Amino acid sequence: MLEGFWYIATDSGNVHVGQPCAAVLCNQPLVLFRDRHGQVHALDDRCPHKGVPLSSGWQEGDSLRCPFHGWRFISSGECVEVPSIGNAPHPSPVSACVRTFPAEERDGWVWVYIGNSQCPKPTSPPPSLPVPADGSPMVSVRESAEAKVRWDFAVDSLMDPAHVPFVHNNYFRQREAAREKEKVFTRLPLGFRTISQNVLLPDTFIFRALSPRLGLATTTVDFVLPGIHSERWEIGKRFASVMLVATPLTDDRSRFDICVGWNFLHGLPVGWLVRRTLRTILSQDREVLESQEQGFGLKGSMLLNLESDNLAVWYRQLKKYHGDMLAGVHDPQHPIPEKTRLKWVT
């Protein structure tokens, strides 16, 4: 798990005023609550008194009350009330304080920053869905799915081109229509990018929705740490984008969150259809990844030796690079070449 990044904790719609909400990220239990001004706060979901999860308590105004002995905490994490205190000294603010985490809402999700002593505060806002350069309004839908799979495998699947014709046959391309592709990758500060200009869209219902006559598109695909794949398609004035995020929940559980936006067909009620498609795609990934998790456990090794596996190798190298930077290693080298050509058949 990587510290120093924003992660999606939950859908914004799950955090209501007056109803603390439990979440977990990077093995860290969180309680989220929305104050009366609509601001979401994230705290360690553990009462410092005897450890009861604060998410099992209740919200009073802009504070959380522990259900066991009634200690009350405000959004800064400070304990402001101990009902049984009598004449005893108030527990010191340090020992009675709950750890807090920066939280922000974006694209319909609550993002929580997981830092450490080297990177306690975020230096940039959470990532966001790519939007069209002309500022045209977009509609968007979201979907998510949890999988019993380690985070590395979930992240690998975000940028594994070779699985697409098999796991998602007929969604993004037909297996029998696979052909050789050459992609040029360039380096991003903590990731990589490939841009394809004037590519003929594959003939599937997804791309027919994007462009009924399957025009030529310019596509930009980015991967950045900690596990964020974003993609944008431009066909004339039509623009669509997707952000697919893999989040580590615990050592053996991950969640995928996906948001898709488009700047056309605003009047048509197609959101439910897009969501249903996203649900199917996520369940296809979940099924194959959970079986990978079972099979991997038998031997514990992989062969990442194809050009299409290069992206998974880069991901592992980027994690090490980030870790080296946090650890203050002298002059760590970015692992991605300035420009690389990779070929595969998909």
Asked if residue 29 binds ligand FES (CB under 6 A), the reply is: no
From 58, 68, 296, 344, residue interacting with ligand FES (rule: CB under 6 A): 68
Task: Please count the residues of this chain forming the interface with ligand FES, following the rule CB under 6 A.
Answer: 9
DSSP string, 276-333: HHHHHHHHHHHHHHHHHHHHHHHH------SGGGHHHHHHHHHHHHHHHHHHT-SSPP
Asked if residue 73 binds ligand FES (CB under 6 A), the reply is: no
Nearer to ligand FES, 32 or 210 (CB): 32
Nearer to Fe ion, 257 or 285 (CB): 285
CA distances from 13 to 9, 34, 142, 161 (A): 12, 11, 11, 32
From 24, 52, 209, 325, residue interacting with ligand FES (rule: CB under 6 A): 52
C-beta of residue 224 within 8 angstroms of C-beta of residue 336: no
Asked if residue 99 binds ligand FES (CB under 6 A), the reply is: no
Q: 34 φ, ψ to 5°?
A: -105, 125
Q: 3 φ, ψ to 5°?
A: -95, 155
Buried b (16+ CB within 10 A) or exposed e, 187-216: beebbbbbeeeeeebbebebbebbbeeeee
DSSP-derived 3-state class of residue 275: helix
**Sole window of 59-67, 71-79, 192-200, 277-285 interacting with Fe ion (rule: CB under 5 A):** 277-285
Q: Residue 104 pairs with which residues in a beta bridge?
A: 111
- Residue 47 binding result from ligand FES, Fe ion, none, given CB thresholds of 5 to 8 Å by partner type: ligand FES
Asked if residue 97 binds ligand FES (CB under 6 A), the reply is: no
Q: Which of 210, 176, 190, 16 is nearest to 110 (CA)?
A: 16
Asked if residue 66 binds ligand FES (CB under 6 A), the reply is: yes
- Indicate the DSSP class of residue 263: S
Asked if residue 172 binds ligand FES (CB under 6 A), the reply is: no
Residue nearest Fe ion by beta-carbon distance: 285
Tokens read off for 290: 């959970």
**Sole window of 31-39, 118-126, 200-208, 282-290 interacting with Fe ion (rule: CB under 5 A):** 282-290
- Residue 99 binding result from Fe ion, ligand FES, none, given CB thresholds of 5 to 8 Å by partner type: none
From 50, 99, 208, 341, residue interacting with ligand FES (rule: CB under 6 A): 50
Q: How far is the CB of 299 from ligand FES (least distance, A)?
A: 45
Q: How far is the CB of 80 from ligand FES (least distance, A)?
A: 13
Tokens read off for 147: 């999988």
Q: How far is the CB of 91 from ligand FES (least distance, A)?
A: 10
Asked if residue 58 binds ligand FES (CB under 6 A), the reply is: no
Nearer to ligand FES, 71 or 239 (CB): 71
- Residue 285 binding result from ligand FES, Fe ion, none, given CB thresholds of 5 to 8 Å by partner type: Fe ion
Asked if residue 26 binds ligand FES (CB under 6 A), the reply is: no
Q: 21 φ, ψ to 5°?
A: -125, 130
**Cα separation, 9 vs 108, whole angstroms:** 11
CA 233 to chain centre: 20
Residues at the interface with ligand FES (CB under 6 A): 47, 49-50, 52, 66, 68-71
